[in-house]
Structure 1
Amino acid sequence: MIRRQLLTGSAALGAAATTTLAMPAIAQTAPEIRWRLASSFPRSLDTIWGAGEQVAKRVAVLTDNKFQIRAFPAGELVPGLQVADAVQNGTVECAHTASYYFVGKDPTFAFDATVPFGLNTRQMNAWMHQGGGREALRPFFEGYNIVSIPAGNTGAQMGGWFRKEIKAVADLNGLKMRIAGIAGNVMQKLGVVPQQIAGGDIYPALEKGTVDAAEWIGPYDDEKLGFNRVAPFYYFPGWWEGCLNLSLYVNKAKYDELPPLYREVLESACRDATVESLAKYDVQNPAALRRLIAAGTQLRPFPREVMAASYKAAFELYDELAEKNDTFRKVYESWRAFRDTQYGWFRVAENSFDQFVYGMYAQEAQQRR
């Protein structure tokens, strides 16, 4: 009897010990932290808004709800184009945004998002995570009391919606266009009057004729915003956005307060958001484009003349900015050196593969008609 009791007691102790050992270390030692995230995007744009929301959800799951971030869409805490100021001054702990919204402060911001005729999605990801991009940008962001973490990507974007056809560079002269970031400065060289308008305000501006053209992201979001109802011509490609890297801005003081484990969780959550947002756009855009065309949208490529003039204007602008802005110059040198090596490689493998298979697909599609 005694032996049986001893064995039973030992088993119970062993089970208790196992249970104790199996408890996640994070549940025993991690502090409880509550942050607010101010997004630059409206909740209705579920993919781009959703990337920030996904960061918040993933952080909570990975920390057993010890570290919670509550996401707020544009306008609920601060206007969408003022989130950088809110993070810098500590009004909110973090924000989800596109850095090129803030080129009015300094054009260097653009490199954290995208620049015209720049890197595609994979190249941007490589520069940020393995090619020295984040290291090049870190001192710049420290000057704004911000830590910037890549957190989402749209892939290559469309060239936007126009109320009239663009057949030559001359057609751009005097055109009022909603266009974000440093691309507006490039367009200005070609006679365009750029307008910086938040996503939720683009439709009424286009409908009323306040702007003659507007770009946003691509078919999935553009269809949601209804641009096809007020502008018939849909141009491609969005040469100013071969991709768009989205960012989680974190107040540096708050970031420095985080335990190392939480910093790793935050980085992991942001990487997940990049993968998922890009995947969702790649799934949703083809079907949305078909629906838009079926509804009467007139799909148009930008004329080569317009593309060539834009390319020339873009790199003239970069050289001008590099002469005037030492910070811009340093990041630009890092970016351009990386771009040159990537372009050389992608022409050999990726581009040759893409051109061949897309060409064969076009032939097969033609034969089926």
Structure 2
Amino acid sequence: MPAPAYNSLLDTPTYPAERYAPLADRLKRLLATESDLLFIQAEAILSLEAIATSIARPGLSAINVITSPYGAYFGAWLRRGGVAVTDVVAEPGQPIAASAVKAAIAALPSVDIVAVVHGEAANGALNPIATIAADARAAGALVVVDAVASFGGHPLAIDALGIDIAAIGPQKALGGPVGLSAVTVSARGWAAIGKVPSFSPSILSLQELKENWLDRGRGVLPGTPSPLEFWALEAAIDRIEAEGLETLVARHQLAARASRAGLRALGLEPWIRDDDAASALVTAAPVPAGVDAEALIAAAGRFGVALGRGFGDIKDRLVRFDHTGARAAFPSVVAAVVAYGAALEGFGIAVDVGAAAEAVARSYAKAAA
């Protein structure tokens, strides 16, 4: 009997110490940044908590944008460290208005930190980070961005945008591993981190990781690095460099446009109505009144399509089309739109599935012309 295929994942060769620094530099080039880049040996939620924990101290004031539970988590971590946090909360499942952030900054005597998620995987919202970052820098605040669900699907030039600290994850548009993430830190970011009393040893301490990796020449990572995750990240970066970052971004943008065109052809508006405020990695579709979200997801699943559920207070009001990485392509996009429409038909909702499929096809044909 042949050995199971998963045995090929065992006995992974050690990831060579001399490859970590070049790998970090390749990722930095994709992010268009001269900031330091730290590898975090965990899923990106730990990167976000490490950022908050590493910059939080009593006496600081922060503006924290909440457009999903992730923003709420970040505010809680800042408060745990003694920061006075002003939350700027969007309508449920919607992007924030840049004017609301600007007003919140103006209302405070001083602001030390402004934190915002760029693209939301939870609801498909895209926040206006360019404007928010500019207003934050004008106020002298540190700019912290969660770019986990936007990197690779939207332009993200960290230095040009004035982002001081950013969290990224390779599992979305990059099509890489989920058990590894990264944080970029500017000189201003390190200055802020350096003012926080040491709390090492801690997996949440960016300062400790700096001292034990960056300051020692970026050789072998401290702890016990997972070779499988780093080989997978290297393979993902190989693939992105071969495709080209601009092409990768364009592919995700097209998937979003086609998904939204398909929804409108069905006779429904996307959850995020403004095309410019919608993520290119996830398209959220409404759950019509009288339809149960879980039942809708199950019905689409019978067509071989896995729709995602919403998070937080809008979890029963939308479902998500995932067009990240390899799924940002015509077969996946048309399948999601058609399965969603066909599932709605099963619940007695009047939709035009044929028109939706044609709209997706037209979007791709137009892009290819």
| TM-score, L = length of structure 1 | 0.29
* Larger RCO, structures 1/2 (Cα 8 Å, 6+ apart): 1
- The structure with the largest alpha-carbon Rg is 1
